[in-house]
Amino acid sequence: MEPGEMLGGRYRLIEPCGQGGMAEVWKAYDTERRLEVAVKVVRPARDLVGQWFDTGHMHQGRAELHGRFRREGEVLAGLSHPGIPELYDRGVHGDRPYIVMRLVKGKSLHWLLENRRPFARSVVIAIAWQIADALACAHAARLVHRDLKPHNVKVDHDGTVVLLDFGIALPLLPGVTRYTAQGTTLGSKGYMAPEQIREDPLTLRTDLYAYGCVVFELFTGRRPFGTEKGLSIVSQHLESAPPSVQEFAPWVSDDIDELILRLLAKEPGDRPPNVQAVLKALKPHLPVPGDPAPDLSIGPDPTLRFRRPEGASSGSDHAARPPVVRRPALARRGGGWISRRNIEEYLAEVGRELAEGAAGSATERLAELLPDARRQFGADPLVRRARRACADSLRIAGECARAGDLYRQQVGDLGRPDAPALQAERLTTLLRVAECRIPLREIESALDGLREVANDVGALPVELAEQVISHCEELGLELAELGYVAEVDEILDPLRRRPPDQEV
């Protein structure tokens, strides 16, 4: 990708902000909202061969990455906290998915530790508390971040501490697809909990260990385990007792020293019970309204929100939150008549609701209007867009039965189109129908849907076929997680065996 390139017809790329294992992040300009945003885009498949998959498993590996990336968007859509970037939009550029988020313009905690230490005591506590507060939001959604480290924390220009990169976050919910194969531990060396290194089942307390490593580094300027002991870092995380923070920072109080030692316990059961306990332990040490500003070389002041007269309270329930924006209800003309402009307005409202975290009243209102819109405009592209938006919103909200009905109506309206793009749309919609059957335990029907698409994808041009096959692999992964590995392989192996860039 190059500066000036447009994504989704509205996001103009400005400059790259960074690159991770599976994605690159760009600063971009949203030409509709007229503000700068962050756009995270999956890296090209050719760049990931050898790192995430080999050439013989191109389709499966790419489908796994796209599935994980799609889940990151769904995760962010369900979180609302000033210390977690808001999700604005999602889309696909060519065959590369992307997500659009709030742009955090500050410095990473890693950069600050390298260039601005030592921090004032009040700054350390304020940063530690804000990280824990953001983590509390994720844990309330039963979400393990899995990659908490200084690189993934930023101090924004207003002093807000922001937790970034939910790319490998794991929802602890029944039936959630595990995109990590055995032997491919995800996380960052130096911050992984022992159970994460051993590939044992993870819990919310797994993040508390990584948090303990980060806070240890905040107080001391060094990680709890290094290479000076002659043992590997991994071995020390598994076997060595952590040092006392007071060994390197004698000014640290006994209760904080004890808290960090508990966070770094080898056994999850020996760590604090939850992140709320951490917030409670840190609260007596926070700056309070009227305290003087610290002597800062860090730049933005993380203590400011606490030193203001309306400073933060004891836990995340009382932490600063963005104001709720209440929009006027969208008007509808009487007599069952609806204009195209009305539909566009409802579509925009549904998009805003999803960007703020979840499906809501706009989805319900638009779904109520769909029968009138269908009768009035027929199988119009705008009606299809509206139905697809409602179906996607309901599916993400877990209302798979209703979403499946809307997807099936979409298939009916598309019929058997001649245009390749519409053929691809029909096949991807059939895959959505199949996906909605899985939570309803209609597994055989889901397999039949996957089989139908796999049989028909050969009619598409290569580029469109690749995109549909990628979606097939994502659905196949979900079915394989439920034990239907042989059935999925039987359906998809003929597509996997074909030479690259050859007609299906």
- Select the more confidently predicted residue: 48 or 328: 48
Asked if residue 393 is part of any domain, the answer here is yes
Domain final residue pick, 63, 85, 102 = 102
Domain final residue pick, 55, 71, 102 = 102
- Is the pLDDT reported for residue 359 higher than 60? no
Structural domain count, the chain: 3
Alpha helix ranges (H) inside 33-175:
45-48, 58-77, 109-115, 121-140
Q: Among the listed ranges 135-149, 249-263, 336-350, which one has the minimum average pLDDT value?
A: 336-350
Q: What is the pTM of this model?
A: 0.61
**Closest by alpha carbon to 8, among 57, 51, 53, 41?**
41
CATH of the domain at 67: 3.30.200.20
pLDDT value, residue 226: 80
Asked if residue 325 is part of any domain, the answer here is no
For residues 150 and 276, membership in a common domain is answered with: yes
Q: Is 190 left (phi over 0), alpha (psi -120 to 50) or beta?
A: left
For residues 169 and 257, membership in a common domain is answered with: yes
- Is the pLDDT reported for residue 103 higher than 90? yes
For residues 254 and 170, membership in a common domain is answered with: yes
For the stretch 144-201, pLDDT in tens is 999 999 999 999 988 999 999 888 888 886 545 454 443 344 557 789 999 999 988 8
CATH of the domain at 436: 1.25.40.10
* Non-local CB neighbours of 211 within 8 Å, separated by 6+ positions: 131, 132, 135, 148, 263, 275, 278
Burial class (CB in 10 A: 0-12, 13-18, 19+), 331: exposed
Band the pLDDT of 58: cuts 50, 70, 90: very low
Q: Is 30 a catalytic residue?
A: no
Q: Contact at 8 Å (CB) between 44 and 96?
A: yes
- Is the pLDDT reported for residue 421 higher than 70? yes
Q: Among the listed ranges 146-160, 259-273, 316-330, which one has the minimum average pLDDT value?
A: 316-330
Q: Among the listed ranges 71-85, 171-185, 297-311, which one has the minimum average pLDDT value?
A: 171-185
- Is the pLDDT reported for residue 135 higher than 90? yes
Count other C-beta atoms under 10 Å from residue 427's C-beta: 26
- Select the more confidently predicted residue: 338 or 49: 338
Asked if residue 319 is part of any domain, the answer here is no
Asked if residue 504 is part of any domain, the answer here is no
For residues 153 and 281, membership in a common domain is answered with: yes
Asked if residue 335 is part of any domain, the answer here is no
Asked if residue 484 is part of any domain, the answer here is yes
- Select the more confidently predicted residue: 479 or 260: 260
pLDDT value, residue 397: 67
Most confident of 230-239, 409-418, 447-456, 490-499: 447-456
| Pairing outcome for strands 153-155 and 161-163 | antiparallel
For residues 143 and 281, membership in a common domain is answered with: yes
- Is the pLDDT reported for residue 503 higher than 80? no
For residues 351 and 394, membership in a common domain is answered with: yes
Give φ, ψ of 482 to 5 degrees. Answer: -90, 5
Alpha-carbon gap, residue 97 to 115, rounded angstroms: 34
Q: Among the listed ranges 205-214, 248-257, 432-441, which one has the minimum average pLDDT value?
A: 432-441
Burial class (CB in 10 A: 0-12, 13-18, 19+), 436: buried
Of 89, 133, 147, 392, catalytic: 147
Alpha-carbon gap, residue 65 to 94, rounded angstroms: 16
Asked if residue 331 is part of any domain, the answer here is no
pLDDT value, residue 36: 94
For residues 373 and 225, membership in a common domain is answered with: no
For residues 92 and 111, membership in a common domain is answered with: no
- Select the more confidently predicted residue: 326 or 379: 379
Percent of the chain with pLDDT over 70: 81
Q: Among the listed ranges 221-225, 242-246, 364-368, which one has the minimum average pLDDT value?
A: 364-368
- Is the pLDDT reported for residue 315 higher than 50? no
For residues 86 and 137, membership in a common domain is answered with: no
Alpha-carbon gap, residue 34 to 178, rounded angstroms: 38
pLDDT value, residue 430: 94
- Is the pLDDT reported for residue 349 higher than 90? no
For residues 82 and 137, membership in a common domain is answered with: no
For residues 357 and 398, membership in a common domain is answered with: yes
For the stretch 27-43, pLDDT in tens is 999 999 899 999 999 87
For the stretch 370-395, pLDDT in tens is 888 888 888 788 888 889 888 887 77
- Is the pLDDT reported for residue 49 higher than 70? no
For residues 24 and 167, membership in a common domain is answered with: no
Asked if residue 403 is part of any domain, the answer here is yes
Amino acid at residue number 344? E
pLDDT value, residue 381: 87
Band the pLDDT of 271: cuts 50, 70, 90: very high
The mean predicted confidence, pLDDT, of the chain is: 82
- Select the more confidently predicted residue: 68 or 320: 68
Domain final residue pick, 76, 102, 128 = 102
Range of the domain at 158: 107-176+184-312
